[in-house]
A and B are shown apart, each in its own frame.
Chain A
Amino acid sequence: MYQLLFFVFAGAAVGFAINLLLQRHPIHSALSLIGVMASLASLYLMLGAEFIAAAQIIVYAGAIMVLFVFVIMLLNAGEEERTQRSRFAKYLGLPLILLLVTSMAAVIYRQVPQDAMVRFGDFPGRTADIGRRLFLNYLLPFEVVSIVILVAIIGTVVLARKDSETEGPGKAVVSEK
């Protein structure tokens, strides 16, 4: 049963990820990415990480992907054009990627013992424990990560706001005022 569920969700994750690459319209790619995230959330549940599974759905699939979809709509992004890709990607890209995936898989397969099994309910990552650990051992990173968010807010406002008169020389700006 566990095996079946694993292969269903793992297959879904890989399938959605490949679909992300094959789709030419960014909105389809975004939907595929949401599919990957939902599959991963199920896998997190199977690994006993309930809190992370919920956060994955709420934060990733909910907030971050909505932001993506919003920007795609805002910029009215159309289908991807097929332009001449750089020579690097053309000749070196594919071999490099194959090398990367085979070496990583080989190393992991060799080095991770085969008797390290994952069973359902073997390691209940209780949310209360996560909270306690977060606020006792990881207090400093937790506080510091708020600076990241502050920087993101300031940065976004600085970059995306409309022009005011006091600022900015240069090109004429199209504005719907």
Chain B
Amino acid sequence: MSPEDLIAVLPEAILTVVATAVMLLAAFRTKGKEEWCGFVTLLGLLAAMAALILQWPPQGPAFDGMVLADPFSFFFHLLFLGIAILIVLSSASYLRQERLAAGEYYALLLFATAGMGLMAAANDLILSFIGLEISSLSSYVLVGFRRRVAISSESALKYFLLGSFATAFLLYGIALLFGATGTTRLTVIREVLRGGLNPVTAGNSTEGIVGGSPVLLPAAAQLGGEVPTSLIALAIGLIFVGLAFKVSAAPFQVWTPDVYQGAPTPVTAFLATGSKAAAFALFLRVFTVALDGAVYPWPSLLWVSAVLSMFVGNLAALWQSNMKRLLAYSSIAHAGYMLVAFTANSAEGVATVMFYLVAYALMNLGAFAVIAHMGNQGERYVAIEDYAGLGFRSPVLAGCLSVCLLSLIGIPLTGGFLGKFYVFRAALRSDLLGLTVLGVLNSAIAAYYYLKVLVAMYMSEPTREVPAPPVPAAVACVLAVCAGGTLLLGIAPQSVLNFALYAAQWLQGRM
């Protein structure tokens, strides 16, 4: 193991160590331990961000090509750590109010972030799978964290059962891909599928050591000799099922509303932004790197899923009265928009997905921070009618929520607008006219339910007494960052977009 290898996984190492430290801290300190745990967690996340700087300029493979510290991984690490910082800031008051164990909560959050980082950086399907499991297992527990609340544990159960079901499909897909190409290394799979390497020798091409004994290679044992196409198509289908579940794309979205509703609100925000971004990172890496040369046209699979996600998400959201369920359906629809850009299957499309994830994370974290704050003890006030008249009672809170909702609709001068604009531009440049038309149509449908909330906030009288506690400093900070960031992305998107484009080109070309 060389220093370069260590630097490539240093952010994850720091997150793991800090998570353990936070738990120990919670065990030893009795007075004011919540604040201390939160503080140490924030320091750990900042330290991981600082460690990321060591990875610049991008150095490429580490651990014999097991991990790639490329700009793509760098971009997603920044995104995950940023999301985690905002979640920690908005969780502190929520944890105190619900009287939840802060030490374990923050530790699991840090572990989940480390797992996501591995998903973005891994160049081997096994490591990706382990990263996915770290983040999934942490999320299952976080969803059920209010374990005395029946709907919270019910959400955890649904998430867990459907999640492990989807994981089994993903794993079966990996197994068949391994059988067809003889390796789990993404970059090697690409070479095999392009016809450059023989499946049987592929596994040994990256590293010389094969366990000391000479490898037996009778010709009869080879899988066909050439690449078996329909086996790969089956593998792609199974991997797609597993990953579509994680990004909550239709038709594998059934879990989303229930899980988002029952989970503690900061955890819902984490699932909607962090987990989704991590799943997309893995999705992009597997499909654009490894399956780049696959004969099977996977964009058509994504086409169907994108259209279904947009329609299912937007149409079902029209009837929702619970804010968390509303945003759950909106999250399905947004997964659909991102799949539109993904279907374009170009460097621009990949960069657009990455840009959209940043914009989506900012606006969603802002909206969920308001919901978590408004919910009050036991999350009693999460219906849309509880937001009636919010614009007069607390103008600043309502203002921040409005910016986020306008961005979710896609009003100009917000990050959401530019995100959608780039999505449709990428789709049009790849001649996906039908998909673009359907996407624009869906954006129009979506405006209705977001506007319903805005109308409630500014134009209707409150129907019942909703307490308006003062906004804690940490939450105010989150709101400022989210609203400000959303507007900034809407006005000056160039730096983020250019970096995403650079990362996407690196992903497709160099490695």
Contacts and interface: CB of A to CB of B under 8 A. Distances in A.
Interface in B93-127: 98-101, 104, 107-108, 111, 114-115, 118, 124, 126-127
A123 B213 CA distance: 11
Contacts of A25: none
A136 interface: yes
B220 A169 contact: no
Interface range for B: 35 or more
Contact of A132 (B64, B137, B209, B220): B209
Interface residues of A, number: 45
A23 interface: no
Contacts of B283: none
B86 interface: no
Contact of B108 (A103, A129, A154, A173): A154
Interface in B286-331: none
Contact of B104 (A103, A116, A158): A158
Nearest to A145: B130
A167 B102 CA distance: 10
A39 B297 CA distance: 38
A158 B109 CA distance: 13
Contact of A111 (B66, B101, B124, B231): B231
Given A123-B216, A133-B210, A170 B148 contact: yes
B145 A158 contact: yes
Given A116-B220, A132-B211, A169 B108 contact: no
Nearest to B231: A111
A115 interface: yes
B99 A117 contact: no
A176 to B, nearest CB: 17
Nearest to B66: A140
Interface stretch (B222-230, B349-357, B458-466, B496-504): B222-230
Interface in B19-60: 20, 23
Contacts of A171: 148, 150
Contacts of A116: 220-223
Nearest to B207: A137
Interface in B131-177: 131, 133-134, 137-138, 140-141, 144-145, 147-150, 156
B138 A155 contact: yes
Contacts of A122: 216
Given A129-B212, A137-B64, A141-B126, A168 B1 contact: no
A130 B210 CA distance: 9
B137 A140 contact: no
Given A166-B99, A167-B101, A144 B63 contact: no
A1 interface: no
Interface string A158-177: 11000100111111010000
A95 interface: no
A139 interface: yes
Interface in A62-120: 103-104, 107-108, 110-113, 115-117
A5 interface: no
A48 to B, nearest CB: 11
A137 B491 CA distance: 47
A133 B220 contact: no
Q: Is the interface of A mostly helix, strand, loop or mixed?
A: helix
B140 A155 contact: yes
A151 B101 contact: no
Contacts of A103: 234
Contacts of A151: 108, 111, 134, 137-138, 141
Contacts of B20: 150
Contacts of A144: 12, 118, 127, 130-131, 134
A133 B211 contact: yes
A137 to B, nearest CB: 6
A152 interface: yes
Most buried by B among A133, A157, A168, A173: A168
A141 B231 contact: no
Nearest to B101: A167
A147 interface: yes
A148 interface: yes
A155 B220 contact: no
Given A147-B115, A154-B104, A166-B99, A140 B210 contact: no
A141 B130 contact: yes
Given A112-B223, A139-B1, A151-B137, A107 B23 contact: no
A126 B12 CA distance: 33
Contacts of A148: 130, 133-134, 137
A85 to B, nearest CB: 15
B265 to A, nearest CB: 16
A115 B220 contact: yes
A147 B118 CA distance: 12
A152 B111 CA distance: 11
Contacts of B67: 140
Nearest to A136: B209
B412 interface: no
A17 B315 CA distance: 40
A111 B228 contact: yes
Contacts of A147: 16, 111, 114-115, 134
Nearest to B220: A115
A140 B9 contact: yes
B205 interface: no
Given A111-B223, A148-B133, A158-B141, 12 more contacts: A113-B220, A116-B222, A116-B223, A126-B211, A126-B213, A140-B9, A140-B67, A158-B101, A158-B108, A158-B145, A168-B148, A170-B148
List the 7 shortest-distance A-B pairs measured between CB atoms, nearest first: A129-B211, A155-B141, A111-B228, A170-B148, A111-B231, A140-B63, A158-B104
Interface of A: 103-104, 107-108, 110-113, 115-117, 122-123, 126, 128-130, 132-133, 136-141, 144-145, 147-148, 150-152, 154-155, 157-159, 163, 166-171, 173
20 contacts: A115-B220, A133-B211, A137-B209, A140-B9, A140-B66, A141-B124, A147-B16, A147-B134, A151-B134, A151-B138, A151-B141, A155-B108, A157-B104, A158-B108, A159-B147, A169-B98, A169-B378, A170-B149, A171-B148, A171-B150
